[in-house]
Amino acid sequence: MADTKREFLRGARNTVPLFLGIAPFAMVVGVAAREAGLDAAQGTFFSLSMIAGTAQLAAVQLYGAGASAAIVLLTAMVVNLRYSMYSLSLHPVLEERSYIERLLAAFLLSDQSFVVSMTELETNPDNPSLPTFLLGSSLAVFVVWVAGIFLGFVLKAIIPAGLSLDFVIPLAFMFLLVPHLGGKDRQTSVLAAIVASVMLVPRLPLQSGLLVSILIGIGSGMAAGEYFGRAGSGGERP
């Protein structure tokens, strides 16, 4: 029991440095939800229904613009396709857990908790309490995310309407993630995705620029891994 509690708290603590990017982004989503016309009940459900910042922001912006429900749902699903890759990576960690535990882990999983937990997996691959570590990290992100959306929803007046934080903050958060990624291939992947998103997100419709940027990042990471592997610099990790 002591080990379980310690790993849970350690997972939460290791996520704290990323709160700097999570909290303001969540506030922007809350502001966008309020400006799109959601009331308090709808805003609460929206913030609790999923932890997917970019997809939530895209969904609420499309809703505010009068897009159909089908377009809103399809866009959210496309933007969240990266979670299918996360699930494949985490399958060895959670495969022996119960269905309910895996379902809870899937619901609470976020970009931040995935990166923190995968870093822990590579650092301590024999850690038997990694699922508990993942839960601690994911729950910490969930609490900060929901609190940030609520604060932005209630206090939207503190963010100037003309300030385009909806795009700047995710980029700042991605830069914060880079030092937590082991291997030059992964850092190359993130940096390539950042550059591509700057160029493509404002230009492609229905948030498709984000999906294309993710694919560019994946391809760049694979190419970098191959290059650094041949060069013998250890960029590619198993």
Q: What confidence tens digit (pLDDT) does each residue in 183-192 have? A: 677 778 778 8
Average pLDDT, the chain: 79
In a domain, 175, yes or no: no
DSSP secondary structure letters along 60-120: HHHHHTT--HHHHHHHHHHHTTHHHHHHHHHHHHHTTS-HHHHHHHHHH--HHHHHHHHHH
83 and 152 within one domain: yes
Range of the domain at 35: 2-156
134 and 193 within one domain: no
CA gap 183, 74 in Å, rounded: 33
In a domain, 186, yes or no: yes
152 and 185 within one domain: no
Backbone angles phi, psi at 150, to 5 degrees: -60, -45
For the entire predicted model, the pTM comes to 0.69
Q: Which of 173-182, 186-195, 228-237 has the lowest mean pLDDT?
A: 173-182
Q: Which has more pLDDT, 87 or 238?
A: 87
Measured in residues, the chain has a length of 238
Q: How many domains does the chain have?
A: 2
Nearest by Cα to 47 from 30, 71, 64: 30
Q: Which has more pLDDT, 89 or 58?
A: 89
In a domain, 68, yes or no: yes
Residues 4 and 129 sit within 8 Å (Cβ to Cβ): yes
In a domain, 169, yes or no: no
Residue 236 has pLDDT above 50, yes or no: no
128 and 27 within one domain: yes
11 and 62 within one domain: yes
Residue 114 has pLDDT above 70, yes or no: yes
In a domain, 167, yes or no: no
191 and 137 within one domain: no
In a domain, 208, yes or no: yes
Give the pLDDT confidence score for residue 140 in this predicted structure: 95
In a domain, 170, yes or no: no
186 and 111 within one domain: no
CA gap 199, 169 in Å, rounded: 16
Residue 198 has pLDDT above 80, yes or no: no
75 and 27 within one domain: yes
209 and 128 within one domain: no
Nearest by Cα to 25 from 64, 65, 1, 54: 54
CA gap 224, 221 in Å, rounded: 5
38 and 132 within one domain: yes
Query: Which contacts of 57-66 are long-range, i.e. CB under 8 A and separated by 24 or more positions?
Result: 57/28, 57/29, 57/32, 57/166, 58/206, 58/207, 58/210, 60/29, 60/32, 60/33, 60/36, 61/32, 61/36, 61/166, 62/206, 63/36, 63/37, 63/38, 64/32, 64/35, 64/36, 64/37
Model confidence at 134, pLDDT cuts 50, 70, 90, reads very high
54 and 97 within one domain: yes
Domain final residue pick, 122, 156, 190: 156
Per-residue pLDDT reduced to its tens digit, 39-86: 777 877 877 877 777 788 778 878 888 888 888 888 888 878 888 888
Residue 101 has pLDDT above 60, yes or no: yes
SS3 225: helix
139 and 48 within one domain: yes
In a domain, 164, yes or no: no
Give the pLDDT confidence score for residue 63 in this predicted structure: 83
Domain final residue pick, 140, 156, 172: 156
